[in-house]
A = this chain, B = another copy of it.
Amino acid sequence: MSVDEALRQLLALARATPFTAVEPVALRQADGRVLAEDLLATIDLPPWANSAMDGYALRLDDLPGQPLPVSQAVFAGQAPGPLQARTCARVFTGAPVPDGTDCVQLQENCVLDAQGRVSSLTPLRRGDNVRPQGNEIRADAPLLAAGTVLNPISLGVLASQGISQVPVLRRPRVALLSSGDELAGEGAVLGPGQIFDSNRVVLATLLERLGCDVIDLGCVPDDPLRLRTALVEAEGAELIISSAGVSVGDADCIGALLREGGEVKLWKLAIKPGKPFTFGHVGAVPLLGLPGNPGSALVTFLLTARPYLLARMGVVQVEPVRVPVVAGFAWPKAGKRQEYLRVRLDGGRARLLENQSSATLLSAVQGDGLLEVPAGETFEAGDVLDFIAFAGVGVY
């Protein structure tokens, strides 16, 4: 099954079961959370007309004739009185301009006479050097849409509106397990034929960066009873993510459990690194089964599980952003599966990292992202391909 088709089905499943629980959170705790409601602007920004420059605020009708005396000086943070007839006001950048102001003349375009009266040296038009009230945004205009993942900049926009608390999606509870007789957990001593599990820490931190609460079920051997015992702790989870080891029984043990929960999708994804992918239910809780090799688990998570989760969270942009990047190497042999090459950007060109084995994370750790090679395609050095930056999918 193509990655696109699998994603289409997964996103349909996700959109049919959106997370809905909402909680209010203070702005300073809201970084990375998903906005649960459309927010409107509460005030005009700027809240009052203000001067874009240091200079003199005046009325156009007062300009012909005598120089204008300065009737007040307005600094930022002050509230001016109305502009008196046939006078001007000294204003500084960001300061409110007095009511009745038509425009601001820059101080360098003025001369002052002996009495400190101001003459303008250059022609002016209404509105010059004045930022009108509500110029950036009007009260009640759309500010941020539900589904926005809050970040430092959007939090700043909310703060500038005096909004100090926002309704966000409650953190989804995601249970996580690694399955396979060959896996040793953190702190264990490596037995014969064993390897240390790395998938849980990779997936747990990726999930936390997506705003999830992670329930770590640990490493579970290929034993139906041990699997059931582990899943008792998943009580309250809204999603289970497993990565199966490479031993023969791994996928079967989870598959058998899922078959009790109804229909099980066992896909052979046309993705490299990757391939086996499982979707089913444990009781009422959806389970995504990722492949066990660390490179495969990482790529499959980023390409399928992450969009699925974001879609359930109501986020609009769920798929990784692709940018065009020039390949610094040739790919003469077409593959049968869509391939995600771990690459580093050198001067903007993608350089292939040495070890592309699905079993290793070592090349990914030196990489800037994934170069997407469609199934059946080859390319020359200098060709442009789609690139998925790790930084754009929560790895930086």
Chain A residues close to B by CB (< 8 Å): 27-28, 31, 43, 45-48, 74-80, 92-96, 131, 136-137, 144, 149, 151-162, 164, 180-184, 186-188, 190-206, 208-209, 216, 221-222, 245-249, 292-294, 298, 321-325, 345, 348, 355, 357, 359-362, 364-365, 368, 389-392, 394-396
Q: Judge whether A365 and B208 touch: CB under 8 Å.
A: no
- A365 and B153 in contact, given A162-B190, A321-B345 (Cβ under 8 angstroms): yes
Q: Say how many copies of this protein the assembly contains.
A: 2
A186–B155 CA distance with the chains assembled, in angstroms: 12
A80–B77 CA distance with the chains assembled, in angstroms: 78
Q: Judge whether B395 and A151 touch: CB under 8 Å.
A: yes
- Min Cβ gap A132→B in Å is 12
Chain B residue at smallest Cβ distance from A192: B79
Q: Judge whether B76 and A181 touch: CB under 8 Å.
A: yes
Chain B residue at smallest Cβ distance from A367: B153
Which residue of the partner chain, among B183, B201, B389, contacts A155 with CB atoms under 8 Å? B201
Chain B residue at smallest Cβ distance from A48: B193
- Min Cβ gap A253→B in Å is 12
Q: Judge whether A156 and B248 touch: CB under 8 Å.
A: no
What are 6 residue pairs bridging A and B, where the CB atoms are less than 8 Å apart in the complex?
A28-B205, A46-B195, A136-B362, A152-B206, A155-B202, A160-B361
Chain B residue at smallest Cβ distance from A323: B348
Q: Using Cβ atoms and an 8 Å threshold, which residues of chain B touch A193? A: 48, 74, 76-80, 95-96
Q: Judge whether A31 and B164 touch: CB under 8 Å.
A: no
Name, among A153, A201, A216, A396, the residue most crowded by chain B CB atoms within 10 Å (CB to CB). A153
The 10 closest A-B CB pairs, nearest first, are A79-B192, A77-B182, A77-B181, A94-B246, A76-B247, A156-B202, A159-B198, A160-B198, A156-B198, A324-B348
- A194 and B362 in contact, given A28-B201, A389-B392 (Cβ under 8 angstroms): no
